[in-house]
Structure 1
Amino acid sequence: MTGQREKLILSKEDVNNNNNNNNGTWSNSVPTFSDLPSCLLELILSFLLLKDNISASAVCKAWRTAAEYVRVVEKHPWVIYIPLCGTLIDLFDPLPWKRYTLNLPEMDGSFVCYSKDGWLLMRRTNLVDLFFFNPYTRELITLPKYNSQFQKIAFSSAPTSGTCVSVTLNFSLKYLLSIRICYPGATEWITMEFPFSLDFDPFRHSNLIYANDHFFYFTGGILFEFDPATRTLNHQAWDEYRRPHGRFFYLMEQKGELFLMYACGSVTPKVYKLSSSKWEEISSATFDGLTIFASRYSSVTRMDVLGLRNSVYLAKYGSYGMQCEFYSFREGRLLKPLIVSQMLDEPNFVEGLWIEPPPCKDVLDFKLRKGKAKVTIAL
């Protein structure tokens, strides 16, 4: 049966070539998978997971060539560090531990609110002007003036996509949630108010994310879900909610599935996956190649990133330098925080968040910070 199946997936021409000798007589040799045409082999290998792709590449030279050709490895994000004052922006690649500097005068006098698809959502210090900014292309897109406060803000996709929608959340009163939405090119924000009977804890909440055409937000054991198309709000309580004092929440998604992580100090973070309307804790055995990149204003996930699998990278912020904590779920512990050497000689508040890597470092005006690009391990 095995031989028959192998013959069936070969073309008629391939079968004839493999089973006829130079004299035109029929041969008894049975074709094997090593005889597959390269185009068919590439098609088969393209369905494999990364770890299986790597295993297949060790079979023979032809398989290695085909496996490497179709191998798709997700690009990991970088950390962008933005000072409250000044125009020098630092980018940190956590895999080779390299740091680059980019001079962006457009961001002076602004602070970052969110990051997605390589774009930053910024707010001027006057607290009224909001704008999108791409640090790689230096394209700037303004939003209508925002004359109010908000707890969280996010956008669905790149502002150049044509489908981008921005959303803010503001728990202005104890039992009233104010949501505003806006589209690039609009002249004003649209305001909606939703009453609810649940307490909002301003110190225990996650970031705002977009997944499956909805915005999600977690606070006080409640997952809020906002549909910008129908402008409706739903929420779901987490009955098993248990949260030690002082922990921070990070909400993210991977291919439409929601993940929630909370971390504190040197304690190994706890990660939960929303499955059938229930939060299920993920253990080190079920992390399955997932990598979490978390920060206060952007948290993303990747699968099967070489050198970064089954781990959590947490971008921190502070008044002097930059720090990226690294948790290994394989080791089950914090592997000592990575301290990026101090960027400034004087105190200046620095915010760190994750952003898509530059499309090509060679075409950007990057400068490796000589003498300060070193990343050390904190003792």
Structure 2
Amino acid sequence: MARVRVRREKKIRTLANIMRRDNERQERKERGLPPEILELIMSRLNLLENIRASAVSTRWLASAVSVRRTKPNPFLVHIPKRGDYFEFFDPSASISYLNEIPEIRNSRVLYSNDGWLLLNHPFTLTLFFFSPFERATQPIPRPWATRSMPLSTAFTSNPFSTGLIVFTISQTILNVTIAFWRRGWEQWKIITFPRPLHHFYSAWVQIVYSSGCFYCLSLQGQLGVFDPVTFAWSVRNIVPPVCLGVQVLGNPWRARFMAELAGQIYVVCTGPGPVPVVYRVGWENGKEWLPLGGSLEGVALFVNGLRSLAKVDLGKPTAGRIVFSKVKFHGARCVMYSPGQKRYYPDSKMRLDWSKEEPNRNIWIEVPENI
């Protein structure tokens, strides 16, 4: 036994010496690169690239750690049925914050973006933006004088951005109606398109803005695209993403969620099946939904019936996971799924039953970095 222990320790020392010599050789090659240039390069990397670069050498590790920053996680806003107290849940720390917001009492939340909410008052029909972090309100014109806003509504940026566009879509058996408004316009532009009979009649339930167009995912999994510059509307002829075990009838839309990141569109499908399925739009392969494998490459998907988000540069426990707008253990933990580990958290055996969920009672909102 003593001889075996000696041989093992000798091998460990030999490997340590080899690694040390390789590290010294790598650092000698890098001496021509000034430290401020190396830090500048590291600061331009996202979190996943930063972690990978830190494995090159001890010098790269020190530089990578010195500039490594993680971004804040979105908060899950719970919308009360009555009263003025809104709950903001931070999934990264499992902490809830109560905030009294009488400014949006009885209003219906439609969408969130850039730290702002878009709301519609069902009685006065007023349409307005509200920032719960700045306690600021910004009203905008409404498209119809006697009609409430559809839930299928989205906007592109904060209300003071010059590129702001507000978009909504609704339909009947025969027509699809799209209304949109740009910052500075006095009234909305409303366009009606005939609905082809071979298209399923189903609500457009998830909307994202990407590369200058609005992408709309229907209850049946069809993908519609609207260009606000050319006023063109089309339904892409691609096979809808499959939600394992989800039937067509009876509100299956609660099991489909769509998010966008840097031009990449993701769809998360969950149902009675054991695990979620994640797709992305494969424009390069005949415009089809491509199932992703066992890793999200550090992307975190925060999914919800009103608004889904895709984020990078987040720390544990949300990085590389699907974060659902369901909270377990009396509000203490968010339900997450790790594609890499192929399990749910906090309970590995849980199943998500969306038929028991009350829709539109919560929404993800991005948190400003200075909060």
* TM-score, shorter chain, exceeding 0.5: yes
Counterpart in the other structure of 2:269: 262
**Once the 2 structures are TM-superposed, how far is the Cα of residue 303 of structure 1 from its aligned partner?**
2.4
Q: Mean alpha-carbon deviation: is it higher for 234-243 or for 215-224?
A: 234-243
3-state SS, counterpart of residue 206 of structure 1: strand
**Equivalent pair of 1:81/1:322 in contact (CA under 8 Å):** no
Counterpart in the other structure of 1:297: 306
3-state SS, counterpart of residue 364 of structure 2: strand
Distance 2:262 2:117 in 1: 22
Distance 1:52 1:182 in 2: 38
Deviations 1:107-154 (A, max 9, x none): 112121100000000111316111100111111111223432525000
1:1-379 to 2 correspondences below 5 Å: 31-34=28-31, 36-46=33-43, 48=45, 50-54=47-51, 56-57=53-54, 62-126=59-123, 128-145=125-142, 146=144, 147-149=146-148, 150-171=150-171, 173-197=172-196, 198-202=199-203, 205-219=204-218, 220-239=220-239, 241-243=241-243, 244-245=246-247, 246=252, 248-264=255-271, 267-276=274-283, 277-285=287-295, 287-307=296-316, 308-316=318-326, 324-336=334-346, 351-361=361-371
Structure 2 unmatched ranges of 5 or more:
1-26, 349-357
Distance 2:52 2:359 in 1: 47
Distance 1:121 1:141 in 2: 9
**Equivalent pair of 1:76/1:305 in contact (CA under 8 Å):** yes
Change (3 A) 1:296 1:127: farther
**Once the 2 structures are TM-superposed, how far is the Cα of residue 34 of structure 1 from its aligned partner?**
4.3
3-state SS, counterpart of residue 258 of structure 2: strand
**Equivalent pair of 2:307/2:363 in contact (CA under 8 Å):** yes
Deviations 1:305-342 (A, max 9, x none): 22123211111499x9798321121221322479xxxx
Q: Mean alpha-carbon deviation: is it higher for 130-139 or for 266-275?
A: 266-275
CA RMSD of aligned residues (A): 2.9
**Equivalent pair of 1:83/1:350 in contact (CA under 8 Å):** no
Q: TM-score, normalised by structure 2?
A: 0.77
**Equivalent pair of 1:214/1:225 in contact (CA under 8 Å):** yes
Greater percentage in helix: 2
Change (3 A) 1:48 1:159: closer
**Equivalent pair of 1:76/1:356 in contact (CA under 8 Å):** yes
Letter paired with 1:211: S
**Equivalent pair of 2:95/2:332 in contact (CA under 8 Å):** no
Letter paired with 1:79: L
Between the two proteins, the alignment pairs up a number of residues equal to 318
Distance 1:80 1:55 in 2: 34
**Equivalent pair of 1:267/1:334 in contact (CA under 8 Å):** no
